């Protein structure tokens, strides 16, 4: 079965000129849960930056080197002051490029987006010893235990910055089908649970029912090995130099192999979505018969 989830785009520039008709098509496809794939949208190293393809600049505790929006220094890195300054410049440039790409393709999102984290992930992903819950080689939708989204969408711009290795993903069935299968196995929160988790600093803010259900969907999918094997899915190799954009809270995805990647996360206000039919919050609201977004 072909899911045809990967939509190839011709652009070679991080601020491409795109006609309004094409923009409308891209937006519709992205919001339906497709992967917008830019095989020739390269992110260029400045002289000397190739050294950061080597995982030795990770501090050993975290696999990724992260830059939070508005921070002036990266986290999770080890090196000289010059290394850390150069890493900041590299990762910050990726954040700026990703944001200009989204602005060029989806000007309607511009006033509704918040820059979140940017990361450089310089370590091989295959064969890592992680718990099943953290195992991103299993199909999942992104949902974070400690960081409730309250219905905000997760828009991500990925780039394979490695010189040789493709980044190998699996992508799976539409969110609506996934939800139909697993939402009946999820449950709501206990009275006081959201308050308690925030008070105990398990979550950064009070978790909403939306986040609670999304997290269970993430876990139910990863825990179900039969589902992992049998769900309609497609493997795709993102070659070196390729860029791709997805709503990672909507697209079932798994990262199987790959060496060095950059990634930008953007939080998007759900009000900016043109057609919310396929949005996780809309799908869950319909299935559960109550709104998932605070009024």
Which of Fe ion, ligand SIN, none has residue 167 at its interface (CB below 5 to 8 Å by kind)?
ligand SIN
Q: Which residues pair with 257 in a beta bridge?
A: 168
Contact 255, 138 (CB under 8 A): no
Between 142 and 209, name the residue whose CB sits nearer to Fe ion: 142
Q: Whose CA is closest to 280, among 171, 180, 206, 196?
A: 180
Between 243 and 248, name the residue whose CB sits nearer to ligand SIN: 248
Which residue from 31, 142, 162, 249 is in contact with Fe ion, where contact means CB under 5 A?
142
Integer Cα distance of 118 and 92 in angstroms: 8
Residue numbers of the site for ligand SIN (CB under 6 A)? Answer: 121, 125, 136, 142, 167, 248, 253, 255, 258, 261
DSSP helix/strand/coil, 54: coil
- Using CB under 5 A as the binding criterion, the count of chain residues that bind Fe ion stands at 1
CB of 175 to Fe ion, least distance (A): 14
DSSP 40: T
Between 246 and 284, name the residue whose CB sits nearer to ligand SIN: 246
Give the pair of three-digit tokens for residue 290. 């109550």
Q: Which residue has the tokens 């718990």?
A: 131
Burial of 151 (0-12, 13-18, 19+ CB in 10 A): buried
Integer Cα distance of 45 and 224 in angstroms: 40
Between 57 and 236, name the residue whose CB sits nearer to ligand SIN: 236
Between 77 and 261, name the residue whose CB sits nearer to ligand SIN: 261
CB of 89 to Fe ion, least distance (A): 26
CB of 218 to ligand SIN, least distance (A): 10
In which order are the strands placed within the sheet that holds 253-257?
233-238, 167-172, 253-257
Contact region with Fe ion (CB under 5 A), list: 38-46, 51-59, 111-119, 134-142: 134-142
How open is the CA angle 89-91-97, to the nearest 5 degrees?
Answer: 100
Between 208 and 248, name the residue whose CB sits nearer to ligand SIN: 248
Contact 284, 292 (CB under 8 A): yes
For residues 225-263, b (16+ Cβ closer than 10 Å) or e, as one string? eebbeebebbebebebbbbbbbbbbbbbbbbbebbbbbb
CB of 140 to ligand SIN, least distance (A): 7
Which of Fe ion, ligand SIN, none has residue 215 at its interface (CB below 5 to 8 Å by kind)?
none
CB of 210 to ligand SIN, least distance (A): 19
CB of 160 to ligand SIN, least distance (A): 8
Which of ligand SIN, Fe ion, none has residue 250 at its interface (CB below 5 to 8 Å by kind)?
none
CB of 158 to Fe ion, least distance (A): 10
Between 110 and 130, name the residue whose CB sits nearer to ligand SIN: 130
Contact region with Fe ion (CB under 5 A), list: 34-42, 139-147, 205-213, 261-269: 139-147
- Between 20-32 and 81-105, two packed helices, what is the crossing angle to 10 degrees? 110
Interacting residue ranges for Fe ion, rule: CB under 5 A: 142
């Amino acid at each position: 079965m072909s899911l045809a989830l990967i939509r190839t785009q011709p652009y070679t520039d991080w601020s491409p000129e795109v006609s309004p008709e094409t923009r409308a098509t891209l937006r519709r496809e992205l919001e339906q849960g497709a992967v917008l794939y830019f095989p020739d949208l390269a992110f260029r190293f400045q002289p000397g930056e190739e050294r950061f393809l080597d995982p030795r600049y990770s501090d050993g505790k975290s696999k990724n080197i992260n830059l939070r929006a508005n921070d002036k220094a990266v986290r999770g890195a080890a090196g000289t002051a010059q290394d850390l300054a150069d890493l900041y410049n590299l990762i910050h440039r990726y954040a700026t490029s990703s944001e200009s790409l989204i602005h060029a393709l989806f000007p309607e999102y511009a006033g509704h987006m918040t820059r979140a984290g940017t990361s450089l992930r310089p370590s091989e992903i295959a064969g890592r010893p992680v718990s099943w819950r953290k195992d991103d080689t299993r199909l999942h939708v992104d949902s974070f235990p400690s960081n409730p989204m309250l219905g905000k969408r997760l828009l991500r711009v990925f780039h394979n910055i490695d010189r040789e290795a493709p980044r190998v993903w699996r992508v799976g069935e539409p969110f609506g089908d996934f939800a139909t299968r697993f939402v009946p196995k999820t449950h709501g929160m206990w009275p006081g649970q959201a308050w308690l988790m925030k008070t105990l600093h398990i979550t950064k803010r009070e978790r909403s029912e939306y986040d609670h259900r999304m997290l269970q969907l993430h876990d139910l999918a990863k825990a179900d090995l039969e589902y992992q094997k049998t769900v309609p899915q497609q493997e795709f190799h993102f070659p070196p130099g390729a860029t791709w954009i997805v709503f990672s809270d909507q697209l079932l995805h798994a990262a199987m192999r790959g060496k060095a990647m950059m990634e930008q996360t953007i939080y998007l206000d759900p009000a900016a979505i043109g057609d919310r039919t396929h949005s996780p919050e809309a799908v869950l609201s319909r299935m559960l018969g109550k709104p998932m977004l605070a009024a």
